Homo-oligomer: A and B are copies of this chain.
Amino acid sequence: VDPNLPIGVFDSGVGGLTVLRALRKRLPNESLIYLGDTARVPYGTKSVESITRYATQATDHLVTRGIKLLVIACNTASAVSLEPVRDRFAPLPVIGVVEPGAAAAVAASTHQHHLVLATESTVKRHAYARAIHALAPNAVVDEVPASLLVALAEEGWTDGPIAESIARTYLAPALGRRESKPQNFELRTSNFELDEAPDTIVLGCTHFPLLEHAIRAAVGPTVTIVDSATTTAERVATLLDEQHLRRTASEPPTMTLLATDGAERFARVGARFLGEEIEAGDIEIVDL
C-alpha cells in the first residue's frame, strides 16, 4: 500500500466532517478524501441491508480512487456495516467511530457508569452499550436518544439558552432526576445497577461535538465528555504508525470533498462541521 494515498472518510451526510476535522487536526500531514452520501441521508431509518449496500458502494468508489485506510464516520453505518465492509475490502484497514468512542469512555470512567447521547437509530441498536460492555462487562450504560440535537447542529444554533435547555432536558433525567424521564428516555441496558450518576458522556453522533459547550453547561464540570471524532482520529494515528502508513511525500497534503447530492447545502451546513469555509464549487458530486 502506498503511504502517500489519502485516508478515506465515509459518512451518510455532513456530520462526519467533525471526524474529518479531528483527523486534520491530529494528522495535519495526511491527505484526506471525504464522501458524504447526502442523497440518501439519513441512514438511521433505513434497513440493515440498505445501509450495508450504501456503505459498500461508497467504499468501492473511494477504493477505486485510491485510499490507504477507511474511516466510517457515520455512527449508524459503523454499528451496522463495519464487519461486512472489512470482510469485503480486506486487507484495507477500516475503522468505525463506535469502538474508539466506547474505548475512550471506558478508559476515562472511574466507576463505569456511562451516558450515551446518540440518534434514535444508534440507541435502538445499542451500538455503544454493546461496545462498552465488550470492554467493561459490568458497566452501566444509559442511552439517551437526542434527535433534536442533530437539527440544532445543522441549523447552527449550537450555543445559547435554547441549545442549553434542550441539552438539559435530555440529560437531567439521566443525571439524577430519574423520576422525570422524558417519554423517549430509554431504559438502562445493563442489569447491573449503581447509585452513582454517570461520570462520562459519550457523544455518540457525529453532530454532537458542535454542541459540546451547551452539553457542558447542562452537565457541569465534573463529567468527562467523550467525543468519538477525536478518539477515532487518535485510533487512526495509532494504526498508521503500527502499519508504517504515515504519509511521506513532501508536497502539501490534499483534501477532497465528495457528495452524492446538494453541493450548495453541503457547503453551507458542512462549514460548521468542518470548522472552516467550504466553496460549493469545490465539492464534487458523484453517483454511486
Q: Is A151 an interface residue (CB 8 A)?
A: yes
A184 touches B156 (CB 8 A): yes
Q: Is A265 an interface residue (CB 8 A)?
A: yes
Most chain B CB within a 10 A radius of its CB, from A38, A155, A161, A184: A155
Q: Shortest Cβ distance from A56 into chain B, in angstroms?
A: 19
Q: How many identical chains are in the complex?
A: 2
Q: Is A194 an interface residue (CB 8 A)?
A: no
Q: Shortest Cβ distance from A254 into chain B, in angstroms?
A: 27
A261 touches B46 (CB 8 A): yes
The answer, among B41, B147, B150, B184, for a CB contact under 8 Å with A45, is B41
Residues on B with beta carbons closer than 8 Å to the beta carbon of A265: 45, 120
A261 touches B45 (CB 8 A): yes
A156 touches B169 (CB 8 A): no
B156 touches A166 (CB 8 A): no
Closest to A264 in B: B124
Q: Shortest Cβ distance from A269 into chain B, in angstroms?
A: 10
Q: Shortest Cβ distance from A38 into chain B, in angstroms?
A: 7
A262 touches B147 (CB 8 A): no
Q: Is A286 an interface residue (CB 8 A)?
A: no
Q: Is A157 an interface residue (CB 8 A)?
A: yes
Count, chain A residues at interface, CB 8 A: 26
Q: How many angstroms from the CA of A162 to the CA of B46 in the assembled complex?
A: 29
Mark interface residues in A138-159 (1 if CB within 8 Å of B CB, else 0).
0000000001101110111100
With A46-B261, A261-B46, A265-B45 already in contact, the answer to whether A155 and B147 are too (CB < 8 A) is yes
Q: How many angstroms from the CA of A57 to the CA of B265 in the assembled complex?
A: 27
Residues on B with beta carbons closer than 8 Å to the beta carbon of A165: 161-162, 165
Q: Is A47 an interface residue (CB 8 A)?
A: yes
Residues on B with beta carbons closer than 8 Å to the beta carbon of A250: none
Q: Is A183 an interface residue (CB 8 A)?
A: yes
Query: 15 new A-B pairs (CB below 8 Å) besides A39-B45, A45-B262?
Result: A38-B45, A41-B45, A46-B261, A147-B154, A147-B155, A148-B151, A148-B152, A148-B155, A151-B151, A155-B184, A156-B183, A156-B184, A157-B169, A162-B165, A162-B166
